[in-house]
Structure 1
Amino acid sequence: MTRTPVPTPVPTPVPTREVWIDVAKGIAITLVVLYHAIMYLDEVGLAGALAPLNPLFDTFRMPLFFFMSGILAASAIRLPYWRLFRKRMSLLLYLYIAWVTLQTLFLLALPPISPSGTPNATWASLVTLFVRPSSNLWFIYALPVFFTLAWLLRRWPPLLQIALTAVVAVMFGAQLLHTGSPWDKMGKYLVFFIAAIYLGPMVRRLVPFVRWWHVALFCLGYAGLVVVTTKLTLTRVPFVLLVLSIFAVVVGITVAVLLARLPAFDFVRSLGSRTLPIYLVHTLPMTALAAILVAFDVRIPPAIATVLPPLLCAGAIMLALALHRQFHAVPGVFTVPVKSWASTAQRDVISPTHTVNLT
């Protein structure tokens, strides 16, 4: 009697991370941290020559960040809403509430950052955190809002979704719609999240064809457009900001693809795989330093002050990563306090080519 051979089980392929996506996220989070470093140092007059340059990258930072988030959301919006909520939204909403509370308490404990003595925060911000989102942590809140909108619109023609959100972006960009809160930014950037959901496959197909001269041309073109629109004060002209932001996303992606091929820039990929803790923590040391500088009335020559924002940016990132290393296993700090609140089962991994990782 012959035995029937037992088939050898084939291991399930483990999803791999697309390096260029992490590099793009690393570029975006670094620019976000640098933006806040310049902003807080400028509050006390110590940003040097970088202060007037800060607004120039408004069309770069968040459009790139939201486009990368949208690329990774394409499969998620096909889930039932309860699974989408547990897989992609519950962690973000919990962290938004927890860290807005922590940052508010931290700001209330600090001496005033503003030289005029204006309070750093108010207790009311804890009551209105969903109505008037936090100016520092609004991105964490925007993602669940965008996921929900993308899920609700998922059966609409993609072109219609992109067109409607582009109109909303133009109206907010030209300040035809204006709330004076982070809702304005959400209105400007929703189009990039929605567009990436449907354009992501095309972008992935084009990535292997990117060459260094593409990067050079796009960078020069974007820089030229930014200078022209700034000099001629065209930023409130309808469609100008949207066009610049689209150009910026192309620049960000091509630069990320090029850097992903160079081992020397692997640290950027590493930052891109840890954007969440960096985003949550980075403003804490900045606000503390600003309060100290105001309290002691520190004065520094402009030439020296110009190097402070990059140094503060690097220091804030290193502190955030160090705190994440120390506390990542503590429930409720960078994770939900109760595991059942968020789904982490292997069957819920929804991206076939990129590990589902919000950090």
Structure 2
Amino acid sequence: MSDNKSSSQVVSRDLEHPTGAPVATGGTRPAGGGRLLWADCAKGLSIVAVCYMHVITGAPGGQDSPWQWFNMVMDPIRMPMFFLISGLFAHRVISRTLGDLWYRRLWFLLVPYLVFTPVQAAIRIDMIEDVTWRNLTRAILLGDPGIWFLYALMVFNILACLLRRIPPLAAVALSVVPALCVAAAGLAQYPEITHITAYMPAFFLGLHLRHLYFRLSAAATDWRVILGAVGAYISWEWLVDVLYDRVFEGGISTDEAAVMSLVVLMRTLTAVPLGILIATWISYTPGLSTIFAGIGRHTLPIYVSHQAALHLVNAIIITALIDGNPERWDFLNGMNIRIAIGFLTCVASGYLFYGIGKIPVLKWVLYPPALPRHRPRRRSG
């Protein structure tokens, strides 16, 4: 990728077609510009599930309603698949130096992180009524608030670059070690740590074993593959539910939280294959594939904006309307109306920031210009 390409391409084209990946059939065909349609649909499905989760949890009674069903189904899929797909097409990382990685990838992740993280961090800290400069700085430095995906992605890219000379299977094995250490040290209750340790294996699996996931997508209509993926998903999620409902009834201790962190770690292997099959089936469906692939190609504007937009609408605008005239606006307390408003808010914020990403100069908050690189001069003669 040349240095003069737009930064929007650098950020969004984690899904560039890798050499040797199958592109001949169905959902594995290119989606334009060397992209794979099923992979774009997978990212689209993941970000839709993330928005869905934030909408449902922000609506009164949403988590106790039938709306929660889809949220529960996607819970073990959305973020592991997001990171796995990011690793799937980060294969150039292992051929770069750290300096090259900074110019070609980290810079383009760092800028939107630093722009949007203070906003999201302030919102989260305000919710617990503990807004201080120390807490805000801590959240930014440790990737604690809602924009933590970009933070974790930067960490994973750096580690992948540092481990690039390690055999692939060894690198995948090493990616699990931090989660084991966190569990052993009793630190599983700190999200700023577990956000990294829980999803690092997903990124490294996608990075080093991507050929297996291309094969999985290519076999998406094989009933044996479907049966295996569905069986793995159901059996492991049943075990997770049993542990939560029976073993850990009455609250989870530090040791039990450590055990659960390792149990959840397995979801990359047990749940993500089903997510990839679903994304591939979506890519086979006209109309639906256009919607999800389009969303998947523009996840950044949606990701960085929707949580703040939901907070603005739910906690400020709707609250002010109801407090100002309860008789007129009390219907806004209804669960279904709040969920509908939440979905519309996510669409509007994503579309707004998609537009911002096309405005000269202003778009730099999402897609900063490439940094100038000083190249050694050639000696004459």
Q: TM-score, normalised by structure 2?
A: 0.72
State the AA in 1 paired with 2:277: T
For 1:255 and 1:52, locate their aligned partners in 2 and report how far apart those are by CA, in whole Å. Answer: 19
State the AA in 2 paired with 1:316: C
C-alpha offsets along residues 125-152 of structure 1, whole Å, 9 cap, x if unaligned? Answer: 4422443323200001111111000100
Q: Where do residues 181-192 of structure 1 align in structure 2 (5 Å cutoff)?
A: 181-192=191-202
Q: What are structure 1's unaligned runs of at least 5 residues?
A: 1-13, 344-359
Q: What's the counterpart of residue 143 of structure 1?
A: 153
1:335 aligned to 2:367?
Answer: yes
* Count of matched residue pairs: 318
Which residue of the other structure, out of 80, 86, 103, is the alignment partner of 1:86?
A: 103
Q: What's the counterpart of residue 351 of structure 1?
A: none
Which residue of the other structure, out of 346, 361, 364, is the alignment partner of 1:316?
A: 346
1:72 shift after superposition: 0.9
For 2:53 and 2:185, locate their aligned partners in 1 and report how far apart those are by CA, in whole Å. Answer: 22
Are the counterparts in 1 of residues 42 and 81 from structure 2 also a CA contact under 8 Å?
Answer: yes
Which residue of the other structure, out of 270, 273, 287, is the alignment partner of 2:297?
A: 273
Q: What's the counterpart of residue 40 of structure 1?
A: 58
Are the counterparts in 2 of residues 218 and 250 from structure 1 also a CA contact under 8 Å?
Answer: yes
Q: CA RMSD in A?
A: 3.2
Q: What are structure 2's unaligned runs of at least 5 residues?
A: 1-31, 248-256, 374-381
For 2:169 and 2:163, locate their aligned partners in 1 and report how far apart those are by CA, in whole Å. Answer: 11
Are the counterparts in 2 of residues 172 and 188 from structure 1 also a CA contact under 8 Å?
Answer: no
Are the counterparts in 1 of residues 148 and 195 from structure 2 also a CA contact under 8 Å?
Answer: no
Q: 1:99 to 1:19 in 2, by over 3 A?
A: same
SS in structure 1 opposite 2:146?
Answer: coil
Q: 1:176 to 1:245 in 2, by over 3 A?
A: farther
1:207 shift after superposition: 2.6
SS in structure 1 opposite 2:169?
Answer: helix
For 2:136 and 2:260, locate their aligned partners in 1 and report how far apart those are by CA, in whole Å. Answer: 35
Q: What's the counterpart of residue 240 of structure 1?
A: 263
Are the counterparts in 2 of residues 212 and 258 from structure 1 also a CA contact under 8 Å?
Answer: no
1:285 shift after superposition: 1.7
Higher-RCO chain (CA-CA 8 Å, sequence separation at least 6) = 1
1:34 shift after superposition: 1.4
1:187 shift after superposition: 0.6
Give the % identical residues.
Answer: 25
Q: Which has the higher helix share?
A: 2
Are the counterparts in 2 of residues 49 and 306 from structure 1 also a CA contact under 8 Å?
Answer: no
SS in structure 2 opposite 1:341?
Answer: coil
SS in structure 2 opposite 1:256?
Answer: helix
Q: TM-score, normalised by structure 1?
A: 0.76
Q: 1:148 to 1:241 in 2, by over 3 A?
A: same
Are the counterparts in 1 of residues 47 and 296 from structure 2 also a CA contact under 8 Å?
Answer: yes
Q: 1:155 to 1:130 in 2, by over 3 A?
A: farther
Are the counterparts in 2 of residues 178 and 184 from structure 1 also a CA contact under 8 Å?
Answer: yes
Q: What's the counterpart of residue 48 of structure 2?
A: 30
1:75 shift after superposition: 1.7
Are the counterparts in 1 of residues 62 and 68 from structure 2 also a CA contact under 8 Å?
Answer: no
Q: 1:310 to 1:168 in 2, by over 3 A?
A: farther
Which residue of the other structure, out of 306, 317, 322, is the alignment partner of 1:282?
A: 306
Q: 1:151 to 1:259 in 2, by over 3 A?
A: same
SS in structure 2 opposite 1:140?
Answer: helix
Are the counterparts in 2 of residues 38 and 50 from structure 1 also a CA contact under 8 Å?
Answer: no
For 2:338 and 2:182, locate their aligned partners in 1 and report how far apart those are by CA, in whole Å. Answer: 33
